[in-house]
A and B are shown apart, each in its own frame.
Chain A
Amino acid sequence: MTAIEISNVEKRYKSLQALGGVSLKIEEGEFFGLLGPNGAGKTTLISIIAGLIRADAGSVKIHGHDVVGDFRAARRKLGVVPQELVFDPFFTVRETLRLQSGYFGLGNNDRWIDEVMTELGLANKADTNMRALSGGMKRRVLVAQALVHKPPVIVLDEPTAGVDVELRQTLWKFISRLNREGHTIVLTTHYLEEAQAMCKRVAMLKLGKVVALDTMSQLIRRISGSQLVLHMPHNRLPDELQPLLNHPPEDNKYSLRINDYSEVEGILARLRMNGIAIDEMQLQQADLEDIFLQIMDENIV
């Protein structure tokens, strides 16, 4: 079943085209990453999914329910953690969660609320007023609020921005557990390592358009391959290997592009034939950051 189906969504703010025809299909149970630089349209897209803003064109369905036409059913299926650290200063943590649960029609939900608070390390803050919480604690409450109605689809907009290591780990542990239990997770993050570690599939947005959409492993393999770094202080790279250079050598370090590990043997054989000694050798796997930068460079509009 499709968890989120986004079809040709467009959004314009006066002269700025925030989204220019975005289509995406996110399947149930996926751990999906939405990446892109600031201003790429990630938050706009999430806001349209959440029904917080209306698209100019196109449609979004959550578990088959249109977010405008059938918004009640769509919103029951969806939990959203907003990027802004918002809170209602009138209430305690427990009151906040009970209210949120009530809005979704769940009047008697204390068991799950307690469980969520425990999982997110909020149990001892239950009766503290929201105003008295630190930023990290407020972030936890935002996550808890998105989960009170046990939504099958959870969208997190920059959940770890400005968050300490401890919370980041608590959060990912809990989110991973929810994903294992079958919840669909969609997240945006600036921390590409985090996306690489967590997401099975990613879409990259740039200037309101999807410029890459693939599984994490395919993306890493497809675009950048790996690189072989050779440190040769006394020699020059033989001419026949020059085309493999990723960039001009720095400090006698040559970075060669390889698509497959079997190519390493051929390169080494060439060096041996030229009588070149290697001081040091490293094999580096490309990571999401390389790919991200490469894609953002490639698609200059």
Chain B
Amino acid sequence: MITTGFRTLVYKETLRFYKVATQTIAAPILTAMLYLLIFGHVLEGRIEVYKGVTYTAFLIPGLVMMSVLQNAFANASSSLIQSKITGNLVFVLLTPLSHWEIFSAYVLASMVRGIVVGLGVFTVTAWFAHLSFNAPLWILVFALLGAAILGTMGLIAGIWAEKFDQLAAFQNFLIVPLTFLAGVFYSIHSLPPFWLAVSHANPFFYMIDGFRFGFFGQSDVNPWTSLAIVSTFLVVLALFAIRLLRSGYRLRH
């Protein structure tokens, strides 16, 4: 059931990032564009990951997904930490919004931001290579699941962190490595066996691999396997986040 309270919180969370769109939308698009120009320029022609797919074409879906993930994470986490530190989270905590409504509103708004930035990155980078769309539904499914997972992680990080530097640590030591080591810039099959095995333990890898399958119809692992792993990961994280909200951990102590 979609309640007015839930809708309002989604609206507030999207309005919040929209009001600072230069920072929340334009900046990450520019960053992705720079990655494409630099890595594309240096590596184009030297690496062929999939047969008949240029390196730039291979890189673009990775960059799009990376932007989706990082921005979905940033939205929930920075909104929460700011509200906690300035104290205005009380306006949400005083309301009859349920744990489930708070969880889904923060995650949905994060997904909106992730997808908007992802579309933006795609729009500016797609001109640099010939991309195919073998299975558009997989593209959509993995983009949405990935955004939901990172939105949930952002929510958890925002609940846990009490200071900006704690949140920065969560982002720099967990989110960024997991994203970069998930095969944004390369296929994990080019890695030595040990790192290949490590990469298989990284849930972010399956999001990016499945997403890329939607474009090229080729991937490192079967997209159904990725779908199962990614969905399970989302459910586990979501249950954990809702439990935190229900217990009032670091929000209502």
Binding site for B on A (CB under 8 A): 50-54, 71-73, 75-76, 78, 80, 82, 84, 86-91, 95, 99-100, 102-107, 145
Contacts and interface: CB of A to CB of B under 8 A. Distances in A.
Contact of B97 (A80, A103, A107): A103
A105 B11 CA distance: 13
Interface string B1-40: 0011101110110011001100000000000000000000
Interface residues of B, number: 28
A50 B98 contact: no
Task: Tell me which of A52, A73, A107 has the highest count of chain B C-beta atoms within 10 A of its own C-beta.
Answer: A52
B91 A53 contact: no
Contacts of B20: 90
A51 B2 CA distance: 24
B218 interface: no
B93 interface: yes
7 contacts: A54-B252, A84-B87, A88-B83, A88-B88, A90-B16, A104-B5, A105-B4
A52 B252 contact: yes
B46 to A, nearest CB: 46
Q: Which 7 A-B pairs have the closest CB atoms?
A: A102-B8, A86-B87, A103-B95, A72-B96, A75-B96, A88-B88, A107-B4
A53 B92 CA distance: 14
Given A102-B4, A102-B5, A103-B9, A80 B94 contact: yes
B8 A103 contact: yes
Contacts of A78: 94
B22 to A, nearest CB: 14
A87 B87 CA distance: 8
Given A72-B98, A145-B91, A106 B4 contact: yes
Given A102-B8, A103-B5, A106-B4, A86 B90 contact: yes
B253 interface: yes
Contacts of A88: 83, 86, 88, 91
B248 interface: yes
B234 to A, nearest CB: 26
Interface string B94-114: 111110000000000000000
Contacts of A89: 86
A91 B15 CA distance: 9
Contacts of A76: 96
B252 to A, nearest CB: 6
Contact of B90 (A73, A82, A105, A107): A82
Contacts of A53: 252-253
A51 B253 contact: no
A133 to B, nearest CB: 14
Given A103-B96, A107-B7, 5 more contacts: A80-B94, A99-B12, A102-B11, A102-B12, A103-B9
Contacts of B94: 50-52, 75, 78, 80
B95 A104 contact: yes
Contacts of B83: 88
Nearest to B83: A88
Contacts of B8: 99, 102-103, 107
A102 B97 CA distance: 10
Nearest to A89: B86
Nearest to B248: A54
B101 to A, nearest CB: 9
Contacts of A100: 91, 95
Interface string B47-81: 00000000000000000000000000000000000
Given A88-B83, A90-B15, A99-B8, A104 B88 contact: no
B252 A105 contact: no
Interface in B142-192: none
A103 B86 contact: no
A276 to B, nearest CB: 62
Contacts of B12: 99, 102
A50 B89 CA distance: 13
Nearest to A80: B94
Nearest to A103: B95
Contact of A103 (B16, B19, B92, B248): B92
Interface string B229-253: 0000000000000000000100011
A72 to B, nearest CB: 4
Nearest to A87: B88
Nearest to A98: B8
Contact of A90 (B9, B19, B95, B248): B19
Task: Tell me which of B7, B97, B98 has the highest count of chain A C-beta atoms within 10 A of its own C-beta.
Answer: B97
B86 A86 contact: yes
Nearest to A72: B96
A54 B86 contact: no
Contact of A104 (B7, B96, B252): B96
A141 B113 CA distance: 29
Given A104-B5, A107-B4, A52 B90 contact: yes
Interface string B212-233: 0000000000000000000000
A76 B94 CA distance: 9
A103 B253 CA distance: 22
